[in-house]
Amino acid sequence: MSLREYQRKRNFQSSKEPRPDTAVPEGARALFVVQLHHASRRHFDFRLQMGNALKSWAVPKGPSYNPKIKRLAVEVEDHPMAYADFEGEIEEGYGKGHVDQFDRGVWATDGDPLAQLKKGHLRFELFGKRLKGSWHLVRSSRKERQPSWFLIKADDSFASNVEADELMDAKMRESTRKAARSESTRAAAKKSTARVRKPPFRRKLSKAGLINDAKSLEHAKKAAPSAAFFKPALTQLRTEPPAGDNWLHEVKWDGYRILTTIAKGNVALWSRNALRWDEKIPDIMQAIESLGLDSAHLDGELIATDNQGRSDFNALQKTLSGEAQRPLVYVLFDIPYLEGYDLSRVALLDRKALLERMLGHGRQHLALSTHTRGNGEEAMQRAVAHRLEGIVSKRVESGYHAGRSGDWVKIKRLEGDEFAVVGYTPPKGSRSGFGSLLLAKPDPDRRDGWLFAGRVGTGFTDKTLAEAAKLVTAHASKKAPANLSGIDPLLRDARWVIPALVVEVNYRGMGGNNLLRQPSLKTLRMDKTPNDLRSTDRAPAKASRSRAAKKGPAKPPRAATVAGTGVVTITHPDRVVYPSDTITKQDVADYYRSIMQWLLPGLIERPLSVIRCPEGAEKPCFFQKHPIQGLHRVGTVRLKEEKGSQAVYMYAKDADSIMELVQFGTLEFHVWGTTIQSPDTADRVVFDLDPAPKVKWERVVAAARLLRKWLDQIGLQSFLRTTGGKGLHVVVPLNPACPWQQVKDFAHAIAATMATAYPDEFVDTASKAKRADKIFVDYLRNSRGATSIASYSLRARKGAPVATPLRWEELSKIERGDAFTLHTLPRRLARLRKDPWEGIGTVKQSLDTAIRQLNKHS
């Protein structure tokens, strides 16, 4: 969508409004935002994301929950996505006045929104804190200078007589009173004194009957509620459906597994690998909250449906990434806990009957996975006729058991499986990135081994092609991994990579040499790692509990090779490294392997220091900068230190260097601001904004923005990173590099300037006596031999936080310096289409000009 009209109407020299080219985070749900704008006439700006812009309407009286009231909505120019974060004063020019954010959330519509607007009627749903439910935008037939619409609430379970002014908080009411300059705004100020009302909610369940139903079930057991993630029951793959009436058969829904925990009324949504999805699917969150349950565990599948009601995985992915706005449905198929009762030993048929009673006559965005009993062949034939993915068959008397017990099995219309990507072939013709991906599956005869399974070159969209190319082509080699066997001898010009990406592929059986026949890509599985494939759904059912008990607990393996290096072995992989978070040494190794392509550019061939915690992060750790006996993959270089003496330092040569240090207990990686080729000059300036314990995060954010502004004024582009601790790093690349003393003096001058200009906010000394309630602008990391935490490095602290590069535009959404962790950072990287620090190595800037500008300002 064009933003030329938006740009034409504004002078960005005087306006604080975001420019149209401001970068915004990618890969999120399509959002809506409503802003309260105190311009010459107070109004509400109603905005819906469509594509890369916000379609916008000015609603003078604000939205109303009353379906009988039509609110005028005047269409205005499209706004950039960054405007969704805008609050504050528009000081001069077009739209002068104060802007508050009234509401924000995601939205959905069944169909093409632009096509609906063209026809003059857009039907949609809102999932915000204040605005919820279904709404309409209907084009007015009146001829106006600007296109006019009516914003109307649909007559659904949220409908009421609540008005927008009644939903304002104290901040918005105060802004309204301050802005009361004209007759219209004085009237609005008077109206803003109306009593505060909460947004309407759907009618909640009557729980008494449900509790009695749960209590009366055979094998129901009284148990305390838990908000913790529970491991899901999993299916085993079969080629034919089981026979007999002791099996029921459900549709195999093509979506994402979602597990729900409710404790003390607080809802949490989890992916199957224990990642929180609350913010990803607020529509489902609201639907579950509307049940009004105090405690429960629910199991189901998140889907988007096509026009025939079939689950559409492609539509689901597009909706979750913001490319589409399809309504989502949470299809529930089990309830292992409800209102104080553990139902995991209750027969499946009884659990499903209770689940059906709980859902009643239907709840928007919640659905029951219905079933048939017996006649498995007929159920499979119906699935094939309707082009469904397949069926899931379950024993009717089975309890709910974590893992693959054999009580749940799946039968697919097409064979399909997940594979690790171990390489690619070069592109041909007009194809870009690669020709096909080379696939492997775990070798059952070697714990650390992989078996070549073939290649896949079809089924890619432009987006998945670009995403896969970015993930696999960065660190390619002509040599296949040593632990990969069964390679197709006909392969030519193959490029091999460390397994990091998992793909799901449909195929029609196995051909010669056990290679896939007619494979086609289904999706990139960003939620899985190659290590997950070793827990296969094709494994035979576990032995009965009695037999397993006789054998005793299985002993954990003593060693596990990190997939992809083929060289470094991680011993004692089960050793707990972060005790408070039950994170093991293997988890740490898997983390570094999974983010290796992001980590290496900031580490390769830079002098290196590490923090080793051989007994775990909560026991004594060691800061080490010189090599020790036993390191064979780590590079060494003799360097002069700041005081003139020489010493041998470590540096990372490649991924094997990193993994060898991880094997030796390394958690943190710290680097010099230079390379081993040019150790006498620095190519980075690092400002560490280190707050005292009582300093609020908002002050650290403000300090980073102030520092960026000052650096901009003297001609220096800067980059931002969370430290994984309390603060932020502002990093300035230098090209050409500058002598160490010049860099240190410059950094000290900037720190001293900040401390002098704002003595109540900043100090430039490390003295604890002077740092109370202030931010230390630490410039000392710019001395020769000093280090700073590397981007994407873990920290040896509770929660396993990660030092994370950010775009400046993301800063307002970050709540603390340790916001990203070992668990959440890989998910963030899977969403990103480019490195937040992309281009840092190509920035051309020197300190000479900057210092002259700094002297002018002094």
Which residue segments constitute the domains of the chain, with CATH numbers given?
4-191 (no CATH), 207-412 (3.30.470.30), 415-534 (2.40.50.140), 681-783+803-810+834-857 (3.90.920.10)
Cis peptide before 736 (omega within 30 of 0): yes
Q: How far are the Cα atoms of 29, 125, 216, 270, 565 from residue 279, in angstroms, in the given order?
A: 9, 17, 36, 11, 35
pLDDT digits (tens, 9 = 90+) for 583-636: 999 999 999 998 998 999 999 999 999 999 988 998 889 899 988 877 888 999
Task: Yes or no: say if 715 and 824 are a contact pair by the CB < 8 Å rule.
Answer: no
Spans in the chain with pLDDT lower than 70: 1-2, 22-27, 180-195, 201-205, 307-309, 361-362, 508-509, 511-513, 535-567, 642-644, 856-858
Task: Yes or no: say if 793 and 821 are a contact pair by the CB < 8 Å rule.
Answer: no
The reported pLDDT for the residue numbered 272 is 86
Catalytic residue (choose from 252, 318, 585, 726): 252
The reported pLDDT for the residue numbered 131 is 95
Active-site residue 252, yes or no?
yes
Strand-strand pairing, 247-251 and 132-139: unpaired
DSSP secondary structure letter of residue 530: G
Max Cα-Cα span within the chain = 87
The reported pLDDT for the residue numbered 743 is 95
CA angle 128, 133, 137 (to 5 degrees): 95
3-state secondary structure of 565: coil
Which residue from 10, 19, 185, 7 is spatially nearest to 95, judged by alpha carbons?
Answer: 10
Give the chain's count of helices (H) and strands (E).
18, 44
Which residue from 482, 489, 429 is spatially nearest to 454, judged by alpha carbons?
Answer: 489
Query: SS in 3 state form for 143-164?
Result: CCCCCEEEEEECCCCCCCCCEH
Rounded to an integer, what distance in angstroms lies between the CA atom of residue 568 and that of residue 562? 7
Task: Yes or no: say if 574 and 560 are a contact pair by the CB < 8 Å rule.
Answer: no
